Amino acid sequence: MTTATSGIRRNVRFRPGRTVAWIIVAIVVVATVFPFYWMVRTAITPTADLVPQAAQLWPSSPTLINFQRVLGLASIEESVAAGGTGASIDFVRYTLNSVIYAGSIAVIQTLSCAAAAYAFARLRFPGRNLLFGVVLAGLMIPGIFTLLPNFALMRELDLLNTMLGLIAPALLMSPFTIFFLRQFFLSLPRDVEEAATLDGVGSLGRFWRIALPLSRGPIATMMLITLVGMWKDYLWPLVAGNSELTRVLTVALGVFQQQSPNTAPDWTGLMAGATLSVLPVLLILVFLGKQLIQSLNFSGGK
Amino acid sequence: MSRSTLERTGTGAPRRAEKPPAARPGVSRLRRAEKWAALVLLLPALLGFVVFYVYPTIRGVYYSMTDFNLLNDPTFIGTANFEDLAGDPQVWDSLRITAVFAVLNIIVMMVLALGLAAFMQRLHLSNWVRSLLLLPWLVPNVAIALIWGWLLDANVGFLTQLLKSIGISGVSFYNGDAALGIIIVISVWSGLGYTALLLYAGMLQVPHDLYEAAALDGAGETRMFFNITLPLIRPVLALVLVVSLIGSFQVFDLVQVGYGNNPIPEVRVIYYYIYQQAFSFYNMGYASAIAILLVVILGALTFVQMRLMRANRSDLS
């Protein structure tokens, strides 16, 4: 009876609130999406129409010329005629570089950290707490502090502008991932692992055959979060891998922007480039959106 | 009697003392095996930690006491870099700009994100809508800087014109008076959905009967938010605060891409200044010294913040 009463009261009281809530969420969604809409709108606008149609929500004569010239599919003359500098982005190569960079780090780093996290959560060895404390201290060090010596190191090893040098610093270790997965392993019930121990399963076997399969969710979460982070990464790839062969998409976009004249930027070309760089992200959102939301629910709920 | 009981009795005791010869040979063998297993599991991550965290930390501290331009070997100069730093107005200016950015960014972001999360708590938003809110978080700052640079173009930017049409002029990307505010707006815009979803996830953990009980007692929406929701999501709130504080002090991409290699002075943040010293002027030693200052500041701020928030205690458990 109590629940029925409170249910009714809640419904009555929540109605006006819900309308306001919907309106506010709708405003936020529009404000979130509009800049991306405007980016696409600009990318399909002929440069000549840019100023006259600056406030028009849809261009009068949409075109793909900006994408063609950014991708290098149009001749230099065509590009210049369309308002560009003739600069192009080797989009496929840079995207591939980004995929290799972000993908390999996301997978290997998460697995390597999962193993370490299990050791910190479950195994007994001398100096465990001290070591974990030192690893956690790594969380508070801003990236640029280690970036400078790492740059010098890669330079000494002659690994600047190589994929190996680009990937190596983040490949095996992330204090946050260890912290996060350790918390999860600690929350797993011990019974199954204890039973396995009695059956003669060793520590490695318990990690590989019990803990790892049980933590597929959180491990996928960390991989996804790391993937996004590395996909967006800019400073390290800028200083350590800004050559044609190893340039990732973010750096390529930055370089493309700096080639555009400061006084009259090639906005249609720049927006075409930006649109291309957002496309892979849209794919992630369409195919992994649900997983991503669940990941966040998981990490926020912990 | 399970093994864990045996183990527990042995915790903390010196290894030799708990090994009466021949009494439990199985246990000590297991212990040794466990130590080896720990080593195997830790090895990859520790390798990465030692080579790319510990070693560079030691080198960074050493560099900060040297004159080093990448081409020469570092020459030891004691505390000269730190003396220079203390008298370098650009360091303090960029720290001030970064601090203003961090404080305003965090306050505006947290207020908006908490509000948005509270509204989301009442609605059953589809995954689709929530994915849309995440979009800016997925997009690299480089692209975001370009998009906003265009929206706020002084001549034909859509937002510039929109603002002009309602009587607000002078808001454009390269206008020094507006630049820092613009960077804050962009930063809040790009982080809002992500932060709100994290806080929302925290709010989902709050037991529903607490709200029902409060409603029965006649508590209003606002009171419920401040007396139930806010205190109970403190752990995730603290985490988000600490992470965004550290993140805010590292703002860089937006400035470097948006304003190019010689940004207007109003947005010269500390990360940019370190980057400039290291990679434009090749003052590796001096750049390391400023980076150490940043480490110290962030360490102190995080410590204070954790203390104030009592982050490790959750009222829920």
CB contact under 8 A, B193 and A28: yes
Q: What predicted TM-score, i.e. pTM, was given to this entire model?
A: 0.86
pLDDT tens figures, B131-175: 889 899 999 999 999 999 999 988 888 998 899 889 888 788 888
The pLDDT value given to residue B310: 66
The pLDDT value given to residue B19: 44
CB contact under 8 A, A32 and B116: no
Instruction: Give dist(CA B106, CA A1) in Å, integer.
Output: 45
Q: Compute how many other C-beta atoms are within 10 angstroms of the C-beta atom of residue B177.
A: 9
Tell me what ipTM this predicted complex has: 0.87
Question: Which of A28, A91, A236, A247 is the best substitution to test chain B (most B C-beta atoms within 10 A)?
Answer: A28
Put simply, whether A66 touches B (Cβ < 8 Å) is no
Q: Dihedral (C-alpha) B187, B191, B195, B196: value to the nearest 10 degrees? A: 100
CB contact under 8 A, A194 and B2: yes
The pLDDT value given to residue A187: 87
- The Cβ-side half-sphere exposure at A76, using a 13 Å CA radius, reads 3
Instruction: Give dist(CA A150, CA A166) in Å, integer.
Output: 10
pLDDT tier for residue A165 given thresholds of 50, 70 and 90: very high
Instruction: Give dist(CA B16, CA B32) in Å, integer.
Output: 12
Closest CA to B64 of A236, A145, A142: A145
Nearest by CB to A146, from B56, B130, B140: name it.
B56
Task: Phi first, then psi: give them for residue B18, nearest 5 degrees.
Answer: -95, 15
Bridge partners (DSSP) of residue B75 are B67
Closest CA to A270 of B179, B150, B256: B150
CB A63 within 8 A of CB A45: yes
CB B64 within 8 A of CB B81: yes
Handedness of CA B191, A288, B132, B202 (dihedral sign): negative
Place of tokens 């960390």: A222
Instruction: Give dist(CA B144, CA B149) in Å, integer.
Output: 8
Token pair for residue B40?
């195997």
Put simply, whether A235 touches B (Cβ < 8 Å) is yes
DSSP designation for A26:
H
Instruction: Give dist(CA A179, CA A174) in Å, integer.
Output: 9
Which CATH number is correct for B92-308, 1.10.510.10, 1.10.3720.10, 3.40.50.2020, 3.30.720.110?
Answer: 1.10.3720.10
CB A228 within 8 A of CB A296: no
Angle at B134 between CA B133 and CA B139, to 5 degrees: 125
In sequence order, the 6+-apart residues with CB closer than 8 A to the CB of A214 are: A188, A192
Question: Which of A107, A144, A150, A209 is the best substitution to test chain B (most B C-beta atoms within 10 A)?
Answer: A144
Length in residues, chain B: 317
Instruction: Give dist(CA A270, CA B180) in Å, integer.
Output: 23
Percent of chain A with pLDDT over 90: 45
Q: With beta carbons under 8 A apart, name residues in chain A contacting B39.
A: 125
Place of tokens 């434009």: B280
CB A250 within 8 A of CB A237: yes
- For residue A154, give the chain B residue with the closest CA: B52
Q: Which residues of chain B have pLDDT under 70?
A: 1-26, 310-317
CB contact under 8 A, A118 and B288: no
Nearest by CB to A267, from B37, B150, B189: name it.
B150
Would you list the domain boundaries of chain B? 92-308
pLDDT tens figures, A49-102: 888 887 788 988 898 988 888 887 877 777 777 666 667 778 889 999 999 999
